Copies of this chain bind each other. A is one copy, B any other.
Amino acid sequence: MKLLEDRIIKDGKILEGDIIKVDSFLNHQLDIKFLNTLAEDVAKYFKNKNINKILTIEASGIAFATVISENMNYIPVVFSKKKKTLNIGDSLWQSHVKSYTTKKDYMISVSKEFIGKDDNLLIVDDFLAEGNALRGLIDISKKAGANIEGISVAVEKGYQGGGDYVRKLGYDLYSLAIIDSIENGKFSFKRI
**A residues engaging B (CB < 8 A)?**
15, 17, 19-21, 23-24, 28-33, 35-36, 58-59, 62-63, 65-67, 69-70, 74, 76-79, 81-83, 85-89, 99, 101-103, 110-111, 113-114
Contacts and interface: CB of A to CB of B under 8 A. Distances in A.
27 contacts: A15-B87, A19-B86, A19-B87, A23-B88, A23-B111, A28-B78, A28-B81, A28-B88, A28-B111, A29-B113, A30-B66, A30-B69, A30-B77, A31-B74, A32-B70, A32-B74, A33-B74, A59-B59, A59-B79, A59-B81, A59-B82, A62-B63, A62-B66, A63-B66, A63-B77, A66-B66, A85-B99
A86 B148 CA distance: 31
Top 7 nearest A-B pairs by Cβ distance?
Answer: A58-B59, A33-B74, A59-B59, A30-B77, A32-B69, A62-B62, A85-B101
How many copies of this chain are found per oligomer?
Answer: 2
A179 to B, nearest CB: 14
Contacts of A76: 29-32
